[in-house]
Amino acid sequence: MISWKNLDALKGFEKLCALGRVDLPRAMAGAAGAARVAKYSVPMAAGLTYNYAAKAVDDDILAALAELAGEAQLAEKYEALLGGEIINTGEKRRVLHQLTRGQQAGAVTVDGVDKRAFYAEQQRKAAEFARKVHAGEITNAAGERFTTVVQIGIGGSDLGPRAMYLALEQWARQNGAFKMEARFISNVDPDDAASVLKSIDVSRSLFVLVSKSGTTLETLTNEAFVKDALKAAGLDASRHMVAVTSETSPLAKSSDYLAAFFMDDFIGGRYSSTSCVGGAVLSLAFGPEVFQRFLDGAAQADALAKNTDPLKNPAMLDALIGVYERNVLGFPATAVLPYSQALSRFPAHLQQLDMESNGKSVNRFGEPVGYPTGPVIFGEPGTNGQHSFYQLLHQGTDIVPLQFVGFRRNQAGMDVDIQGSTSQQKLCANVAAQIMAFACGKDDANPNKAFAGGRPSSIIIGDRLTPESLGALLSHFENKVMFQGFCWNVNSFDQEGVQLGKVLAKRVLAHDTDGALKAYSDLLDI
Amino acid sequence: MISWKNLDALKGFEKLCALGRVDLPRAMAGAAGAARVAKYSVPMAAGLTYNYAAKAVDDDILAALAELAGEAQLAEKYEALLGGEIINTGEKRRVLHQLTRGQQAGAVTVDGVDKRAFYAEQQRKAAEFARKVHAGEITNAAGERFTTVVQIGIGGSDLGPRAMYLALEQWARQNGAFKMEARFISNVDPDDAASVLKSIDVSRSLFVLVSKSGTTLETLTNEAFVKDALKAAGLDASRHMVAVTSETSPLAKSSDYLAAFFMDDFIGGRYSSTSCVGGAVLSLAFGPEVFQRFLDGAAQADALAKNTDPLKNPAMLDALIGVYERNVLGFPATAVLPYSQALSRFPAHLQQLDMESNGKSVNRFGEPVGYPTGPVIFGEPGTNGQHSFYQLLHQGTDIVPLQFVGFRRNQAGMDVDIQGSTSQQKLCANVAAQIMAFACGKDDANPNKAFAGGRPSSIIIGDRLTPESLGALLSHFENKVMFQGFCWNVNSFDQEGVQLGKVLAKRVLAHDTDGALKAYSDLLDI
C-alpha cells in the first residue's frame, strides 16, 4: 500500500540530518581516494557507469539513504507508475511515457486500449513515413526528395528532440545513418522562424508540427508563419507538413497534414522525447533503426530503475544523493557539465525536465512543503565551461554540486595529436582533473590561489555517445527526477506555474489591462 | 583617496539590512503599481531603458543604496579604473577594455604607449583587413573570395563574440550589412571542430585564431586540427589564418598568419568583445562600420556609468539592487531572460562575465569575505523558457531574481498576424505578463494553482536590437559586474580559480598521477 508522506515526516530523514558530514578533501586523498573511486561506482544501462566517489557520502550516509528510499517507498511508487496508476494526481492522469520504449510492468489498458501497443503503433507509423521519405516515395509536388526536416514546437516539443538530434548528428554522419538535416523553430519571436526559413530550401523541407493539445499559441503562430513562406514560394503547404498531436486535437484529422502521429495526456511534454514528439523528427533525420536503438537504451535504463537497492539502481541513488545535497547540505543549484560537444543542449533539456518537474512548493495534497524542492539546474559543455563560470564553482562563496558526463572516445572519428596527446585525451584529462580539483582543492600561501575543495561531483562515464547510451542517459535523468519528486512528495508531472503568465498575456493582447500591466504594455508598444 | 572596504564594514550596509522589506505584490497592484512603472525607470544608452518597478525596492531602500554607493566610492573607483589605475590588484594590471571603444578619462599611457591610440590602431588594421577581404583584394590562393569566417577561441574569445554575432546576424541580413557567415570552434572535444569543418567550404574560409597568450591549449589544438584539414584539402594554411593575440605572444610575428591584430594584458577575456577579439570576426561578418556602431553604443553606456547618482546611472543601480538581493534578501541565483531569439547566447556570455568576475571568496587583500559574492547566472530566451524552467521560477521553493530584456520591434522584418496580433506583439505581451505574474502572483482556492508572487524582476526595454543597442547592453552588464565587484571588495579581473584544473589536467596527460586522479584517468582510458 503506497503512502505519500512529506520528506520531513520520514524518520530516515531525521536520521540523515543527524549523521556526520564527509570531509571530502580528506576522503578523496591518497590511496583511500582511489579506493573510493573503485567502490562508489554502479553500472548503468547501455555500458554507462555512474561514479559517485566524489560526492560527499560515506557508507553510513548511503545506508541512511537506502533506509529513506525504503521508507519513502521509492521502488513501490515507481512500480505503481509503470503499472499505470494515477501518479499525476493533480491532473488525475497516468504517467506512461516509459511505455513508448518498452513494457516494464503488466499491460496498461485505458478505455480498452493497450497503451504500449498504441504508442508502438504510432512509432511504427512514423517509421514507415520516414522510410517512404528516405526512399523518395513521399516527395514534394515536383517529385523532388525532401532534404530537411524542421520541427515546430516549444518546451518539451523542442528542447528534448533538439538536444537528442545534436547529440547524434555527428555519430550519424560518421556511421552512415545521416538521412536529413533537422532544424527547429520554437520561439514566438518572429526572428526565430525567419532565421530558420532563410537558411533552408523550403521546397525541399518537411515540417513537423508538434503540439499535444493542438492549441499551443507559439506553435500555431509559427505554423502560420511557415505556411505563409510555403505559399509565397508557390508551394502547397499540406504536402510539406506532418502533425504530432493527440487524437482529440483539432490537428488530428486535418487534411492540412501529410500524416499525423499521436501521443496522449499520459505523456508530459518534458518526458516526450521517446514518443513521436522525438520519434518523427529523429526517424526522419537518422532513420527509424537509429531511433529504435535510442529507445532500447532508454528501456534498459527503465528496467534498471526497478531495482529496490539504491546501490544497484543508479537513477535512485543519484536522486537520493541529490536530496541529501539539497535538504541536508543545503545547496540551491546543480550544474550539468557534459564533456562532449554533442551534448551541448542536453543541459537545457535537463533544465526543463528537472526544474519544471520538481520546482513546486506544495505537496500532492496541496499543502505547502517546509523544505526546499527542485534546485536551479544549469550547465554548458566542458571544456568550454572551464573558461567561463568554473571560476565561481571553484572559488565562489556558494557550493554548487556538479554532474559530469564523459566518454572515452569521440563521435566524429577525426582527431589530432598535439604535445603528445589527442584532443579526446585532453578532453578526458580535463574532466578527471576537474573532479579532483573540486573535491580536494589546494592549499596556497596566497589565499587568492587557494582552493577550499569540498565541492562534490559525480560522473557518468561511457565508451562513446551512441543511440543506446543517449537513450540510457535520457532515461536515467527522467527516473532520477521522478524519484526525487517521490522523496519531496510533489507531483512531478504537472506545471500549473506556467498558467498565470498565459492568462495575463492573453489579457494584454486583448487590451484588457489596467495598472502596472497596462503600463508595461504601453512601454512595450503593444 | 580610494579606500577598499568589505561590504559588511560599511555603515550603509548595516542600515540597508535594518530597513523594512517591500511587499511586492501589494506595491505592484492597482494605480500604485502603474505609478511605480512610470517612476522606477532610468534611461540607458542608445535608447534603451532600465525599468526596476518590479524589483523589491522603495524610496527608502533606494536612498540607502545611494548612500552605500557613496560610502563604497563606486563612482570614484570607476573613474580610477577609467584613468588607468591598477584596479586588477591581484595581477597588478590596469583594466582598459573600455579604451577599445572610447576615451572616458584622460590619456592612459603605459610604457610610453597611448593605449587608446593603440587599441584604435588595432581596430583600424582589422577594419582595413576586412575591407580588403570584402573587396576581393585578399583571397585564397585560387583568387576566390572568402565566404566564411571561423573564430577559433574559447571562453572570452568565444562566448562574447559568438553571442554578438548571433545578436546581429538577422539585423545585418535585413539591413544589407551581411558580408560573411561566421562559425565558431571552441571546445577541445574534437567533435566540435569536426562538426564545423564538415559544414563549411574550407577553401573559402578564413580562420581567426584568438589567444592572448598564444598558449591556450584548446585553441592551439583546434588550430592544428584546422591546419590538418586545410592541408588535406591541398591548401596553404597561412593564406587562411589570422591571429588575434598579444604583441609578446609566439603568434604575433609568425608567418603562419595573413595578419595579426593585438590586444594586451589590460583586457580580460570576458571583457574583450569590443577589442579585436570581437572586432576581427564581427568586422569580417558585418563590415567595420557595423562594428563601429556597436562600439559607439558601448561607449555611450560607459559614459553614462560615470554618473555619481545611481538613480541616473542604470549600471550602478542594477549593481546595487543585485547586491541588495544577494546580501540582504539572500537570493543565490539570477536568471537572464531576453525576449529576443537573437540574444539566444547572450545569457551564456553574461554567465561567464558575471560568474568568472565575481565568483570569489577572498577580498582584494586575500582575506576571506564573510558574505556571499557573485550569484549563479543562467538563462534562455523567452518565450522558450516559459515552457521550460519558469515553473520553478513561479512556484519553486527558492526565489530567483529575474533580468528581462525586450524590444518593441523584431529584426528580420517578417511577421505574421494570428488571432488578431503579430508574433512580435505576442512576444512583448508575454514579457509584460510574466513581470506581473512574478511580482503579484495570484490567489487560488486550489493551492496547486496559487502563485505567491513577490518574485522580483527588472526589464531593459529597447525599440529594436541594433549594433548600438547591443553595444550599450554589453557595456551595461560589464559595468554592472564591475560595480558589484567594488561593493563586494573582490577583484573582478582575475580568475585564479581556473588554474588548478589546468595543472592537474597536465599531470594526467603526463601520466604523473596517483590515488583518485589516477583511478579516474584509468576509468577514462587516458
**Strands laid side by side in the B205-210 sheet:** B181-185, B148-152, B205-210, B241-246, B259-263
Q: Which sequence spans correspond to the domains of chain B? A: 7-96+305-411+418-494, 110-295, 495-526
Measuring CA to CA, which residue among B324, B333, B454 is closest to residue B18? B324
Average of per-residue pLDDT values in chain A: 97
Task: Give burial (CB, 10 Å; 0-12/13-18/19+) of B423.
Answer: buried
The DSSP code for B50 is E
Q: Work out the end-to-end distance of chain B between its first and last CA atoms, rounded to an integer number of angstroms.
A: 54
CA-based R_g, chain B, Å: 24
What does chain A come to in residues? 526
* A339·B189 Cβ contact <8 A: yes
Residue A120 CA neighbour count, 13 Å, CB half: 10
So what CATH class is B110-295?
Answer: alpha beta
d(CA B394, CA B414): 32
Residue B329, chain A, CB below 8 Å: the answer is: no
Q: CB of A343 within 8 A of CB of A465?
A: yes
pLDDT digits (tens, 9 = 90+) for A159-214: 999 999 999 999 999 999 999 999 999 999 999 999 999 999 999 999 999 999 99
Provide the CA B124 distance to its chain's centre, in angstroms: 24
pLDDT digits (tens, 9 = 90+) for A122-169: 999 999 999 999 999 999 999 999 999 999 999 999 999 999 999 999
In the structure grid, which three cell numbers stand for residue B268, read together?
580580460
Residue to substitute from A397, A451, A526, interface B, most B β-carbons within 10 A: A397
Q: CB of A160 within 8 A of CB of A278?
A: yes
d(CA B191, CA A327): 38
Q: Percentage of chain A surpassing pLDDT 70?
A: 100
pLDDT value of position A1: 87
d(CA B284, CA A137): 44
Q: CA angle A485-B404-A155, nearest 5°?
A: 40
Secondary structure (3-state) at A100: helix
DSSP B140-182: -TTSPPP-EEEEE--GGGTHHHHHHHHHHHHHHHHTT----EE
A1-21: average pLDDT:
96
* B524·A428 Cβ contact <8 A: yes
B113-114 and B109-110 beta bridge pairing: antiparallel
Q: CB of B308 within 8 A of CB of B75?
A: yes
Residue B502 known to be catalytic: yes
Residue B80, chain A, CB below 8 Å: the answer is: no
Residue with cell 560515506: A58
The DSSP code for A89 is T
Residue B307, chain A, CB below 8 Å: the answer is: no
pLDDT digits (tens, 9 = 90+) for A17-64: 999 999 999 999 999 999 999 999 999 999 999 999 999 999 999 999
Task: Give burial (CB, 10 Å; 0-12/13-18/19+) of B480.
Answer: buried
pLDDT digits (tens, 9 = 90+) for A473-509: 999 999 999 999 999 999 999 999 999 999 999 999 9
pLDDT value of position A414: 84
Q: CB of B331 within 8 A of CB of B398?
A: yes
* B518·A34 Cβ contact <8 A: yes
Q: CB of B340 within 8 A of CB of A195?
A: no
In the structure grid, which three cell numbers stand for residue A416, read together?
589530432
Residues of chain A positioned with their CB less than 8 A from the CB of B213: none
The list of chain B residues with pLDDT below 70 reads: none
A148-152 and B241-246 beta bridge pairing: unpaired
In the structure grid, which three cell numbers stand for residue A163, read together?
538536444
β-sheet bridge partners, residue B210: B244
A457-462 and A421-422 beta bridge pairing: unpaired
Secondary structure (3-state) at B113: strand
Closest-approach residue (CA) in chain B for A362: B448
In this prediction, residue A390 has a pLDDT band, given cuts at 50, 70 and 90, of very high
pLDDT digits (tens, 9 = 90+) for A221-276: 999 999 999 999 999 999 999 999 999 998 998 999 999 999 999 999 999 999 99
Which residues make Cβ contacts (< 8 Å) with residue B111, sequence separation at least 6? none
* A159·B430 Cβ contact <8 A: no
Secondary structure (3-state) at B435: helix
Q: CB of B178 within 8 A of CB of B211?
A: no
pLDDT value of position A413: 82
Distances (CA, A) of B462 to A21, B48, B51, B340, B471: 50, 5, 11, 11, 12
pLDDT value of position A210: 98
Q: CB of A357 within 8 A of CB of A422?
A: no
Q: Work out the end-to-end distance of chain A between its first and last CA atoms, rounded to an integer number of angstroms.
A: 54
pLDDT value of position B5: 98
Distances (CA, A) of B247 to B110, B244, B263, B277, B509: 14, 9, 7, 14, 30
* B496·A448 Cβ contact <8 A: yes
Q: CB of A472 within 8 A of CB of A298?
A: yes
Backbone angles phi, psi at B301, to 5 degrees: -65, -40
Q: Tell me the catalytic residues of A.
A: 356, 387, 502
pLDDT value of position B465: 98
Measuring CA to CA, which residue among A89, A24, A50, A63 is closest to residue A366? A89
Distances (CA, A) of B163 to A424, A453, B158, B469: 26, 32, 8, 14
Residue to substitute from B28, B165, B191, B502, interface A, most A β-carbons within 10 A: B191
pLDDT value of position A159: 98
* A429·B378 Cβ contact <8 A: no
For domain A107-295, the question of CATH label 3.40.50.10490 is answered with: yes
B333-339 and B402-407 beta bridge pairing: parallel
Residue B458 CA neighbour count, 13 Å, CB half: 21
Closest-approach residue (CA) in chain B for A432: B520
d(CA A252, CA A254): 6
Residue B17, chain A, CB below 8 Å: the answer is: no
Q: Is the pLDDT of residue A322 over 90?
A: yes
Residues of chain A positioned with their CB less than 8 A from the CB of B92: none
* A519·B37 Cβ contact <8 A: yes
Secondary structure (3-state) at A44: coil
Distances (CA, A) of B33 to B19, B329, B402, B434: 21, 21, 18, 15
Count other Cβ atoms within 10 Å, centred on residue B352. Answer: 28
Q: CB of A210 within 8 A of CB of A244?
A: yes
Which residues make Cβ contacts (< 8 Å) with residue B447, sequence separation at least 6? A362, A366, A367, A368
- What are the DSSP E strand ranges found in B436-478? 457-462
d(CA B40, CA B314): 11
pLDDT value of position B1: 87
Residues of chain A positioned with their CB less than 8 A from the CB of B376: 333, 376, 378, 389, 392, 398, 400
Secondary structure (3-state) at B211: coil
DSSP A201-262: -GGGEEEEEE-SSS--HHHHHHHHHHHHHHHHTT--GGGTEEEEEETTSTTTT-TTSSEEEE
Touching B: A residues 170-189, CB under 8 Å: 170, 173, 186-189
Touching B: A residues 404-443, CB under 8 Å: 406, 408, 410-416, 418-437, 439, 441-442
* A186·B384 Cβ contact <8 A: yes
d(CA A400, CA A123): 40
In this prediction, residue A472 has a pLDDT band, given cuts at 50, 70 and 90, of very high
Residue B97 known to be catalytic: no
Element (H, E) at B37: helix B30-39
β-sheet bridge partners, residue B451: B442
Residue with cell 509536388: A141
pLDDT value of position A81: 98
Fold entry, domain B7-96+305-411+418-494 = Rossmann fold (3.40.50)
Please check whether the two domains, B7-96+305-411+418-494 and B110-295, share a CATH topology.
yes
pLDDT value of position A63: 97
Q: CA angle B394-B397-B401, nearest 5°?
A: 55
pLDDT value of position B412: 85
CB nearest B34 (choices: A36, A495, A519): A519
Residue B492, chain A, CB below 8 Å: the answer is: no
Residues of chain A positioned with their CB less than 8 A from the CB of B500: 394, 437, 441-442, 451
d(CA A167, CA A465): 8
